[in-house]
Chains A and B, each alone.
Chain A
Amino acid sequence: MAKHICGVGGEEFASEQEYVDHVCTRTNLKATHPFHAMGPDFEEIQRGAVQRGKDRVEREKAEKPHGKPNA
């Protein structure tokens, strides 16, 4: 069975779920905590991703042709 290793603390797990649920011995944070995963710049990274998503949704809305009712 494939092993899962926490790249920060080095702990080993038999499953991905065990990795996701663990509290890292080095950061004292869960693997799902954004600081653990993305470091001190996590807010900037998240903000950028959300902004790109928002910009794309707005761009797609603007490009959508207006629907016309059937005659």
Chain B
Amino acid sequence: MAATVEIDEANGAGQTLTHNISNTNMGNTDAANLDPVANPITPGNRSFVKYQKIHVTAMGGSSKIDNLKVWRTGALGGAATHVTNARTASYGGAITYATPTTSAVTGVDQAMPTAEPGSANVGISGSLSGSLTGTGSSDYIAHQIVTNAADTAGSTSTMNYQYDETA
């Protein structure tokens, strides 16, 4: 047996947690598994920021989950950029959840990596060297798309969430 791991997303003022999301579509609404066609980002604006976490629901006999990494594979459309709080150095601790908006968020200002980072860029209990030795979650991964006025909707790329498991 091995660990069971899911990706969760928090939304709304009440921090409603949707467990085991099926996608991380970015759009003009604060919702998990959103429909990007029904909620396109207004060109020149940001998407609603997403707060997600890597959640271990069962250890399956393993002793540790650590070395969490997140990155995006694939280009964004137009001149859009993708910002996040994930970083491999100078991690400022766990980001505090706030009701998602389309505004810039302090600390969500790193470029989302477009290849696997060389080391952990998602924290556990406020530290990149943190680990889970039982069920629990990572720190929040906050990320957001920043568009340009000339951008058009419809770009597709892949988000990667990776962890190491020690038996």
Q: Which residues of A are interface residues toward B (Cβ below 8 A)?
A: 1-8, 16, 19-20, 31-34, 36-38, 45-47, 49-50, 52-54, 56-57
* B57 and A49 within 8 A (CB): no
Q: Which residues of B are interface residues toward A (Cβ below 8 A)?
A: 2-6, 8, 10, 14-22, 32-33, 57-58, 60, 62, 64-65, 67, 135, 162-167
* B20 and A36 within 8 A (CB): yes
Q: Which residues of A contact B58 (CB under 8 A)?
A: 32
Contact residue among A31, A50, A56 (Cβ-Cβ distance under 8 Å from B20): A31
* B167 and A50 within 8 A (CB): yes
Q: How far is the CB of A36 from chain B (nearest CB, A)?
A: 7
Q: How far is the CB of B131 from chain A (nearest CB, A)?
A: 11
- Tell me the bound Cα distance from A36 to B20 in angstroms: 9
Q: Which residues of A contact B33 (CB under 8 A)?
A: 7
